[in-house]
A and B are shown apart, each in its own frame.
Chain A
């Protein structure tokens, strides 16, 4: 019973933690949209804009990756840690 409860809590927590993926998604979409606008306005600056956009997207992704790490920890590490202690 306790085992099932721990597993359930870990799975639900991992799912909730991945809600953090929403933020980077919105942010990156916004950044790419603005980059498209910039390229539309000045097509000759396409290379620079694309490089900067990819850099910015990768940096904006960090928060999403933090939540991914927490999910991975909750799925792969936490059950063993807590069930071992019961």
Chain B
């Protein structure tokens, strides 16, 4: 019996040390799916909705716009497409493990990339509201000796966001692989007195891993993508708020 837990497999090695990994290929697939769904939902739009398709599209747009308005304030209405894209991308990336693919969010590079985008936005809004000098002054708050800790705190935001998403999804991957291995070992022990043909029946693997999959794949990936987007919104709107 062998248990195999690996990171993303490398599929192609290009010159100059560029590699194409499973993560990238799966992400391209997810992007393609999102693009096709968006195109399908929004082609042939009319002023008065005739089909069910346009109603769904309008509902989704209204939902994200209301959420963004609710959490970030009226001035950040333009963030709705960004948040919707981030959420749908994160959700579909995590859910791709249901199809037996390697979920791209189980790779730290992916989540760290998104977190760095958020970090740049936070930095931009902080500098825009307080000015560059004001931002530097804010780092030495309340006394200048604490500046190293404040700088550490600035960088811990994207790292904790990235590790939260990555840790949850990859922990689900590792735990479900381990449980699957244990179940196959148990069922081979329980059935070893039978002849060879019957002993190969995966008795315990039927059904039990599905319960784990519901938690780790469905619930956890939905919750973590939602939380990633919520934290993005919270941090950005907090950065833009002027402190009194």
Count A-side interface residues using an 8 Å CB cutoff.
12
List residues 135-181 of chain B with CB under 8 A from any CB of chain A: 160, 163-164, 167-168, 170-171, 174
The CA-CA distance from A55 to B223 in the complex, in Å, is: 9
Q: Would you call B163 and A69 a contact (CB within 8 A)?
A: yes
Among B170, B171, B174, B223, which residue has its beta carbon within 8 angstroms of that of A58?
B223
Main secondary structure of the interface of B (DSSP, over half): helix
B227 within 8 A of A: yes
List residues 40-81 of chain A with CB under 8 A from any CB of chain B: 54-55, 58-59, 61-62, 65-66, 68-69, 72, 76
The CA-CA distance from A69 to B168 in the complex, in Å, is: 10
Give B166 Cβ to nearest chain A Cβ, in Å.
Answer: 8
B5 within 8 A of A: yes
Q: Would you call A61 and B164 a contact (CB within 8 A)?
A: yes
B65 within 8 A of A: no
The CA-CA distance from A58 to B171 in the complex, in Å, is: 14
Which positions in A face B, CB cutoff 8 Å? 54-55, 58-59, 61-62, 65-66, 68-69, 72, 76
5 pairs of A and B residues whose beta carbons are closest in the complex: A65-B167, A58-B227, A62-B160, A68-B167, A65-B163
Which positions in B face A, CB cutoff 8 Å? 5, 160, 163-164, 167-168, 170-171, 174, 223-224, 227, 230-231
